[in-house]
Amino acid sequence: MGKRVAVVGTGQTHHRSKRPDVSIPELVREAVDRALENAHADLGAVDAIVIGNMEHFEGIHLSDLWPAEEAGLWGKPGFKVATGGTTGSSLAIAAYYTVASGLYDRVLAVGWEKLSESAGETTTGIVTAFDPIYERPTLAGAVSGLAVMATAYQYRHSIPPGQAALATVYARANAMRNPHAHLRKPVTVEDVLASPMLSTPIRLLDMCPTSDGACAVLFASEEAVGRFPGPPAWISGVHSCHNHTYLGDLCGDTPVFLDTLTTAAKEAYRQAGIADPRNQIDVVEIYGPCSWACLEWAESLGFCGLGEGGKFFASGAPAFEGDIPWSPSGGVISTNPIGATGLIRVAEAAIQVRGEGGDRQVPGVRTALATGFGGSYWSEVMILAREK
Amino acid sequence: MADDKPLFVEAASVLHYRYAAGEHGTRFLQALAGRKILGSRCAACGWTLVPPRVACAGCFRRMTEIVEVPPTGTLVAYTQVTFPFIDPFTGETRPIPYCYGMVRFDGTHNTFQYFLEEKDVGKLRPGLRVEAVFREAREGAIRDIVHFRTC
């Protein structure tokens, strides 16, 4: 696995639908300042930086150049990571690789997105991620892509929509505990089922919002961890898994949809010595972009059996007080600055392990799991633990 | 700025692209003009994929054999899009609502994502038999297929 690596500092903005008061570099600086403050360090304590967003949304390229000074990249080694929805988790993994390799001891990962600046056309940007000849004519971005997956899942396992709605209900209840969350308003199952249909069976309240926000996470090697006073969150398992290019290949003879999460989780569990994920993991921060995906992915992660995602959510197990609290931050259904979203999952998992969660702290967390989702159904998994 | 009201700068990018369909893609699109659906068949694992491509999705070996597949297939998954958004093809709002789905052509091993004729999403279900409906005036483009209808 290379050198052992820990998260020693996290910072994020107060995510909102619009941040008209700041430019992109200013937004990035807020998160960087907060991460350094949390780590009790300054930019002098950072050896290298990885930074990224999903560039189409703001229509700017060289997203490493724009906020170079605000992110602390000036005069330092660094590179841009842009893998679509997984950008944030890829940033965490890239920073982890850079430290684990022994090349640098202290690497800052910075993810950001200012979706309000694309005049609300997030879907247009996402459509351009897919094949221009065969799949763009029909695709309506992440919403319809996830909807196709949801209809297949719903039909295969006869899932009542009210069970999927619970994923939103729990997420929004958790967001009330998190001052950084974007949508801080509780909703009921009835509210979700009465909200406008976007793409069958996904309704407005089933789906994540578009947010403005940034996140920064500082990773340190085992030799450097002692320089930072806070408790380290040790990375014990990491895996990134890609899928087919064509959406049409994802539901043919190739395994259905998000088998990448099953694969990534299995490998990360192996690294972390996790044989029974439901009992050995204390809290999860899942890149669940819509309620339906949360149900199916609970199965992929091994928290329940195949086809039991609906029952899993109905059982209350993923609620804040349940046995495996699901995104106590409010998750992606409450907050979604896309290029930062995956990094926020890692930051929130680290916050839980370090006991810094405040009102959203789950008691006694020793092991936390963070995931990333994006591209053509790619998955990334990172496991963080209190013990080295 | 006496009232401290945040200022914005407006910008609109109009970018034009020409995507090469490629060797297999060109044959596929040309065949549509003749009401034919082509796929690529893998000599190594035997999978047939539509549209045809150079790398097999099953075993990743190079695919060189092009085969015709029937215009009939099975619906595997679907949705009805009911929210408005700007279509990156046209720069205009895409007309809604519309149904599309993943169709597995008979004898193939993947699915093809395309429009469905059915307007009532309640009548769609996985396993439905469908067939491609071709336009009268065809030009060797993906839109030579109007949609898939229930058969």
User: Does the beta carbon of A61 lie under 8 angstroms from any beta carbon of chain B?
Assistant: no
pLDDT at B84 over 80: yes
- 8 A C-beta contact, residue A355 and residue A361: yes
All residues of chain A having their beta carbon less than 8 Å from the beta carbon of residue B24 are none
Q: Do B126 and A200 touch (CB under 8 A)?
A: no
| Structural domain harbouring B141 | 22-150
Do A177 and A254 belong to one domain? yes
A149 lies within 8 A of chain B by CB: yes
What type of residue sits at position A277? P
Chain A neighbors of B143, CB-CB under 8 A? 137
Give yes or no for residue B11 having a pLDDT over 90: no
A245 closest CA partner among B101, B19, B54, B45:
B54
Region A25-52: mean pLDDT is 97
Residues A63-68, mean pLDDT to the nearest whole number:
86
Range A231-242 burial, b when 16+ CB lie within 10 A, else e: bbbbbbbbbbbb
For residues A122-129, give the mean pLDDT: 87
Partner B contacted by A148 (CB < 8 A)? yes
- Give the residue from A196, A227, A258 where a domain finishes: A227
Residue A367 domain-assigned (yes or no): yes
Which residues on A lie below 8 Å from B98 (Cβ)? Answer: 138
- The pLDDT value recorded for residue B12 is 82
Structure tokens of A272?
């972390």
pLDDT digits (tens, 9 = 90+) for A156-214: 889 988 999 999 999 999 999 999 999 999 999 999 999 999 999 999 999 999 999 99
Answer yes or no: is B17 within a domain.
no
Phi, psi of A123 (to 5 degrees): -60, -40
For the stretch A217-270, pLDDT in tens is 999 999 999 999 999 999 999 999 988 888 888 876 544 567 899 999 999 999
Report the complex ipTM: 0.93
Residues A339 and A220 in one domain: no
Is the CB of A149 less than 8 angstroms away from the CB of B77?
yes
Do A166 and A87 share a structural domain?
A: no
pLDDT, residue B137, reads 96
> Over the stretch A257-313, which tens digit does the pLDDT of each residue have?
678 999 999 999 999 999 999 999 999 999 999 999 999 999 999 999 989 999 999
pTM of the model: 0.96
Q: What is the dihedral of CA A6, A8, A14, A19, to 10 degrees?
A: -80
Residues A80 and A167 in one domain: no
Number of domains in chain B: 1
| Position B133 in a domain | yes
Contact A144 B51 (CB under 8 A): no
Q: Is residue B116 part of a domain?
A: yes
For the residues A324-351, what does the mean pLDDT come to? 98
Does residue B50 lie in a domain region? yes
pLDDT for residue A255: 46
Q: Which residue intervals of A181-229 are DSSP H helices?
A: 189-194
- Alpha carbon of A112 to those of A14, A23, A64, B111: distances in Å? 12, 12, 11, 35
Answer yes or no: do A251 and A186 share one domain.
yes
**CATH number of the domain to which A20 belongs:** 3.40.47.10
For residues A51-67, give the mean pLDDT.
87
Question: Is residue B87, in this structure, part of any structural domain at all?
Answer: yes
Q: Does residue A283 sit in the same domain as residue A336?
A: yes
Are A35 and A133 found together in one domain?
A: no
CB pairs A-B closer than 8 Å? 131
Q: Can you give the pLDDT at residue A253?
A: 57
Examine the domain organization and report whether A248 and A109 are in the same domain.
Answer: no
Alpha-carbon span A323 to A86, nearest angstrom: 27
Predicted local distance difference test score (pLDDT) of residue A129 = 86
* Residue in B13, B18, B32, B113 to test binding to A, most A beta-carbons within 10 Å: B113
| Tokens linked to A219 | 């990773």
- A179 inside domain: yes
B125 belongs to a structural domain: yes
B2 pLDDT higher than 70 = no
**pLDDT confidence of residue B32:** 98
- Domain C-terminal end among A193, A227, A261: A227
A150, HSE (Cβ side, Cα atoms, 13 Å): 30
Task: Check whether residue A74 and residue A172 sit in a common domain.
Answer: no
* Same domain assignment for residues A203 and A295: yes
- Structure token pair of residue A164: 């999927």
Segments forming the whole domain that contains residue A289: 128-209+238-385
**Mean pLDDT, chain A, as a whole number?**
94
**Has residue A71 been placed in a domain?**
yes
Of A199, A227, A255, which residue constitutes the final position of a domain?
A227
The reply to whether A79 and A150 lie within a common domain is: no
Question: Does residue A43 belong to any structural domain of this protein?
Answer: yes
Kindly state the percentage of chain A with pLDDT values over 70: 97
Q: Is B6 among the domain residues?
A: no
pLDDT in the model for residue A120:
66
Alpha-carbon distance A343 to A330, whole Å? 14
Q: Please count the structural domains in chain A.
A: 2
Whether residues A149 and A280 fall in one domain: yes
Subunit contact A152:B77, Cβ cutoff 8 A = yes
First to last CA, chain B: 66
On whether residue A233 sits in a domain, the answer given is no
Residue B1 lies in a domain: no
